[in-house]
């Protein structure tokens, strides 16, 4: 490792050769603003906010892409010339920006707004000129695209490309450049998989989740409706961030308390549906192995991944488990078993789910996600939308007591909790499948080989004398590599887990927005996943088939896992979709 002696703002430092100026400055506690930079996926130096002065250079340089390769390099990050450049860049961005900040969903959580405040931009109309009004795309179920607020940073383009989808990019040239789909198609008319990763990285309000909180407030206010909410495991690992809690805080108790105070009639946990999923999926896997079914069997919990498979790998649809996702299973049981037990007409139930995932907004409207014309789930809101509801209701989240879920569908195992992290579904399934096949209560419940945020994880396990080869991946670019192996017959696996979002649901498109200044240097996926693994380790029941609620459900209502009634309520079908 070659080290170079340099100076930053007159102070001597030593850095590894070819470190970028941006990284070197951060290493020594000096912040340089950015708007386009996303580590590893969007290092393009396009926004010009990170400009700094290098002694001897003919002009200012973009610190995010400028390597330090000379001994004695002198850098100035806050000279008058640098400050004036950054202010001018902001003023130029504002010249054709929709500046209706008060009504913008990203108000007070906008990176552009924050930089304008930091640099004291007082004349937002300094370069006011041509300002065409662009159409707003509301055609999808999961997001709203408003190019009037776009700053052409291309972060969304990079995120979409990283997801192997790449359905958005720059159209036209120069001043007329906009970010959109080919031939200016609506997003609903292309092979978007609804993952929402673009909304998670957008620095402004150009891409936001489609807000359905008004529907929830309306349902709660209707005395004729029984409004039941379920929350996904990953939500508890991130919701606290919206209220100033550190990344990696388990906010489950306060979340439950806030949902009750919002007026929901019952507060259930999607973990119930996750435990149920394992019984159905594990049974399906065992049946495929024993009876020559299509292998490898691939998990079906992630609706973004399902849509991706339908668009891009339709020949592998027979490999998908037919199980509905935990969200849909929980909704199905609420509208059937629970409704019958409580004497409630399912038509009077409004089933609401809180998800880390924007693709869930698409999933609950799919065909074959309900029975007799009654949808399993009626409204899906994201973690961010729930936070907005809590704030609108004036609830002091951090001051609320910790409360437990309603017990009817609120008891769960550790296996269900880890569904929110990549590898969690696989580990949960292995815990139960191993017990079922051996007929023993095995003490080994931690399958560390499938944990972590590595791109693709492989493992082989001896399960009741049978060699089971598994693979786990998250992020659709990684998924495509694994699927190409399977398609080419090069992969000898029996069971595969795929999650749409990199790192799994903890990093879903509906989770709290984390600014690039944090996202670039903190492993958010790992911090949030740790919440789930820690909770799992502390629970008395860590295998899905141990859940007393799930046992009771099969005894009283469903019969046996994989049986006729279970298939009727808990399984689904898929469709081939066009790739273009």
- What would the pLDDT profile of 422-460 be if each residue is shown by its tens digit? 999 999 999 999 999 999 999 989 999 999 999 999 999
Distance CA 471, CA 321 (A): 15
Residue 430, H or E segment: helix 424-438
Q: Is the pLDDT of residue 548 over 90?
A: yes
Is the pLDDT assigned to residue 580 strictly greater than 80?
A: no
Domain segments of the chain: what residues? 3-78, 94-209, 214-570
Residues with Cβ within 8 Å of 122's Cβ and at least 6 positions away in sequence, in order, are none
Q: Among 197, 234, 182, which Cα is nearest to 476's?
A: 197
Report strand pairing: 466-474 vs 456-463: antiparallel
Q: Which helix (H) or strand (E) holds 14?
A: strand 11-16
Residues 170, 360, 105, 513, Cα dihedral to 10°: -80
* Pairwise CA distance, residues 339 & 371, whole Å: 14
DSSP code at position 476: H
pLDDT > 90 in the chain, percent: 95
**How distant is the alpha carbon of residue 467 from its chain centre?**
33
338 falls in which pLDDT band (50, 70, 90)? Answer: very high
Average pLDDT, the chain: 96
Query: CB-side exposure of 54: number of CA atoms within 13 Å?
Result: 22
CA distance readout (Å), 250 to 240, 285, 398, 536, 572: 7, 32, 12, 12, 32
What is the pLDDT averaged over residues 327-336?
98
pTM of the model: 0.96
Q: Within 10 Å of residue 87's Cβ, how many Cβ atoms?
A: 17
Output Rg (C-alpha) for the chain, integer angstroms: 25
Helical spans, DSSP H, in 450-547: 476-487, 516-519, 524-538
Coarse DSSP helix, strand, coil percentages of the chain, rounded to the nearest 5 percent:
40, 15, 40
User: pLDDT-based confidence at 403, cuts 50/70/90?
Assistant: very high
Domain 3-78: assigned CATH number: 3.10.20.740
pLDDT at 128: 80
pLDDT (0 to 100) of residue 316: 97
Task: Check residue 579 and give its pLDDT.
Answer: 78
Q: Which CATH number fits domain 94-209: 3.40.50.10320, 3.30.70.20, 3.40.50.450, 3.40.710.10?
A: 3.30.70.20
Does the pLDDT of residue 129 top 80, yes or no?
A: no
Q: Does domain 214-570 have CATH number 3.40.50.1780?
A: yes
Among the listed residues 217, 256, 220, 261, the one whose alpha carbon sits nearest the alpha carbon of residue 240? 256
Q: What band does 523 get if pLDDT is binned at 50, 70 and 90? A: very high
């Amino acid at each position: 490792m070659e080290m170079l002696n340099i100076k930053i703002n007159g102070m001597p430092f030593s850095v590894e050769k070819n470190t970028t100026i941006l990284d070197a400055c951060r290493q020594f506690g000096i912040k340089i603003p950015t708007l386009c930079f996303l580590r590893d996926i969007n290092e393009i130096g396009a926004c010009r906010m990170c400009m700094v002065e290098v002694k001897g250079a003919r002009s200012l340089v973009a610190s995010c892409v400028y390597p330090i390769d000379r001994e004695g390099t002198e850098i100035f990050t806050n000279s008058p010339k640098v400050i004036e450049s950054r202010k001018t860049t902001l003023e130029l961005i504002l010249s054709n920006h929709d500046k209706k900040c008060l009504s913008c969903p990203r108000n007070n959580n906008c990176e552009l707004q924050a930089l304008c405040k930091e640099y004291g931009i007082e004349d937002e109309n300094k370069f006011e000129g041509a300002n065409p009004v662009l159409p707003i795309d509301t055609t999808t179920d999961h997001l709203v695209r408003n190019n009037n607020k776009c700053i052409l940073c291309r972060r969304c383009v990079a995120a979409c490309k990283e997801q192997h989808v790449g359905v958005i990019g720059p159209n036209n040239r120069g001043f007329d450049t906009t970010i959109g789909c080919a031939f200016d198609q609506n997003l609903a008319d292309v092979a978007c998989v609804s993952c929402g990763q673009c909304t998670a990285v957008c620095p402004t309000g150009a891409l936001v989740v489609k807000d359905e909180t008004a529907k929830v407030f309306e349902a709660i206010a209707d005395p004729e409706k029984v409004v039941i909410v379920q929350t996904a495991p990953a939500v508890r690992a991130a919701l606290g961030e919206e209220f100033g809690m550190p990344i990696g805080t388990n906010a489950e108790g306060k979340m439950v308390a806030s949902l009750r105070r919002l007026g929901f009639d019952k507060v259930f946990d999607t973990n119930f549906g996750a435990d149920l999923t394992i019984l159905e999926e594990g049974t399906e896997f065992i049946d495929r192995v024993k009876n020559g079914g299509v292998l490898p069997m691939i998990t079906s919990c992630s609706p973004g991944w399902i849509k991706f498979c339908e668009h891009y790998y339709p020949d592998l649809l027979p490999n998908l488990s037919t199980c509905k996702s935990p969200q849909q299973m929980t909704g199905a049981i609420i509208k059937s078993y629970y409704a019958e037990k409580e004497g409630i007409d399912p038509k009077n139930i409004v089933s609401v789910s809180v998800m880390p995932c924007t693709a869930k907004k698409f999933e609950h409207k799919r065909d074959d996600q309900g029975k007799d014309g009654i949808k399993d789930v009626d409204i899906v809101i994201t973690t961010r939308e729930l936070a907005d509801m809590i704030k609108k209701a004036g609830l002091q989240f951090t001051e609320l007591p910790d409360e437990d879920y309603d017990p009817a569908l609120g008891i769960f195992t550790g296996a269900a909790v880890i569904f929110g992290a990549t590898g969690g579904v696989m580990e949960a399934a292995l815990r139960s499948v191993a017990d079922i096949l051996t007929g023993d209560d095995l003490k080994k419940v931690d399958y560390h080989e499938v944990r972590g945020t590595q791109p693709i994880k492989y493992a082989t396990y001896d399960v009741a004398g049978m060699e089971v080869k598994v693979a786990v991946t998250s992020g659709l670019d990684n998924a495509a590599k694994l699927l190409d192996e399977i398609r080419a017959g090069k992969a000898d696996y029996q069971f595969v887990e795929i999650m749409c979002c990199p790192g799994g649901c903890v990093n879903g498109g509906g989770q709290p927005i984390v600014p690039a200044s944090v996202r670039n240097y903190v492993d958010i996926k790992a911090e949030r996943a740790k919440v789930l693994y820690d909770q799992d380790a502390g629970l008395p029941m860590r295998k899905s088939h141990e859940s007393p609620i799930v046992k009771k459900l099969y005894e009283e209502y469903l019969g046996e896992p994989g049986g006729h009634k279970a298939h009727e309520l808990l399984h689904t079908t898929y469709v081939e979709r066009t790739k273009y």
